[in-house]
Amino acid sequence: MLKNRLGRTGLEVSQLGYGSMGLRGPRTWGQRVVSDEDADRFLNLVLDSGINLIDTAPDYGISEQRIGQFISSRRDEFYLATKCGCDPIQHVDHLETQHVWTKEVITRNLETSLSRLRTNQIDLFQFHGGDAATLQREGLIDLLLDFRSQGLIRFIGVSSSLPYLPALIKLSVFDTFQIPYSCLAPQHHDLIARAAESGAGIIIRGGIAQGGPDAEIQRPALNDIWIRAKLDEILPPGMPRAELVLRYTLSHPHCHTTIVGTCNQQHFADNLAAVQAGPLPENLISEIHQRIAEATGEK
Ligand SMILES: NC(=O)c1ccc[n+]([C@@H]2O[C@H](COP(=O)([O-])OP(=O)(O)OC[C@H]3O[C@@H](n4cnc5c(N)ncnc54)[C@H](OP(=O)(O)O)[C@@H]3O)[C@@H](O)[C@H]2O)c1
């Protein structure tokens, strides 16, 4: 699979990464629960396909444990990105996520993640949100730099969105930014470019727009944009809608990788094929861009 340099980290990451939120297991949220057997098979399939970036978080139920349990024996085949600032509360039947910006929580996140992931080092440790003023005031960026000097993590990043992103970019301390983006949710298009121009690596999430109009778990707000932009009129014959969305995301000049989540083998195979097919033709990109701009009222 084609690899891109993840900004100043210098890591060569596969264009398609893997978002492991769907492996969160029972008593979390959502209706679908992936079994241990399927999680094992899927994580190994991800690596077999040439994907070398896996994203997880302490907020994703047993996702970290499963990565540790099923693929830590293949640790040299992938870069591991997890998150911090997470203080989830496990209720009897569901997981309540909350973010707490203290040194105590972040230190605990690191210790727990290293243990669950069965590794000595996290490649990319990302704040799971947060605003620039709080992260600085609480000394949390310095804390991550200290973890880095101890060799416990290699790079520091942040997963963020508007309105917090511009101030975080200005800090000029992050090696990577994880940012939501797709043709159906294009709000961060220009900020992605600004973040990349600061030298940081760009990890896009939501790059397949949660599966688009054909998703098993429907997202009416995104579907509505597809309909209003009349994208069916320009969908090339035979191309699945999710492919159009994913290849549009890959066409963003600063998309170094997109961590698509799926726990469906057919979808996974389709996504690999979409990546192989490469970015969309220029004229189709412009047409989609124009139609979405008109439908959403954004430039
Ligand atoms: N704040 C944060 O930091 C944050 C928030 C959200 C997510 N994330 C990270 O980003 C990753 C991806 O985020 P996301 O799940 O919101 O966005 P996404 O990757 O755009 O959407 C994933 C959804 O798309 C469906 N899908 C994937 N390929 C498909 C295909 N070919 N056809 C139809 N449906 C398809 C999947 O369902 P199937 O299983 O049915 O294929 C899944 O429900 C997460 O796993 C997580 O690592 C981070």
What's this model's pTM, rounded to 2 decimal places? 0.98
Domain count, the chain: 1
CA of 19 from ligand 1 middle (Å) equals 7
Q: Could you give the CA distance from residue 72 to residue 69 in angstroms, rounded to a whole number?
A: 6
- Mean pLDDT of the 173-187 span: 97
What is the tens place of the pLDDT at every residue in 252-274? 999 999 999 999 999 999 999 99
Closest by alpha carbon to 183, among 225, 238, 230?
225
Contact 231, 285 (CB under 8 A): no
| Model confidence pLDDT, tens digit, residues 118-156 | 999 999 999 999 999 999 999 999 999 999 999 999 999
- Using CA positions, which residue lies closest to atom 2 of ligand 1? 159
Strand-pairing partners, residue 122, are 153
The conformation of residue 88, written as its DSSP 8-state character, comes to -
131-154: b (≥16 Cβ within 10 Å) or e = bbeebeeeebbebbeebbeeebbb
Looking at residue 228, which CATH number applies to its domain?
3.20.20.100
Cα–Cα dist 57/50, whole Å: 22
pLDDT the model gives residue 31:
82
Ligand 1 center from residue 262 Cα (angstroms): 6
Instruction: Give the 3-state secondary structure of residue 236.
Output: coil
Given the CA of residue 56, which atom of ligand 1 is nearest to it? 47
State which residues form the domain around 79.
3-296
Position 75 scores a pLDDT of 98
> Collapsing DSSP states into helix, strand and coil, what is residue 67?
helix
Q: Which of 78, 203, 239, 267 to mutate to test the pocket of ligand 1 (most atoms within 8 A of CB)?
A: 267
Average pLDDT of span 194-219: 95
pLDDT tens digits, 266-298: 999 999 999 999 989 999 999 999 999 999 887
pLDDT tens string 212-242? 999 988 899 999 999 999 999 999 999 999 9
How far away, in angstroms, is 209 Cα from ligand 1 center? Answer: 7
pLDDT band at 299 (very low <50, low <70, confident <90, very high): low
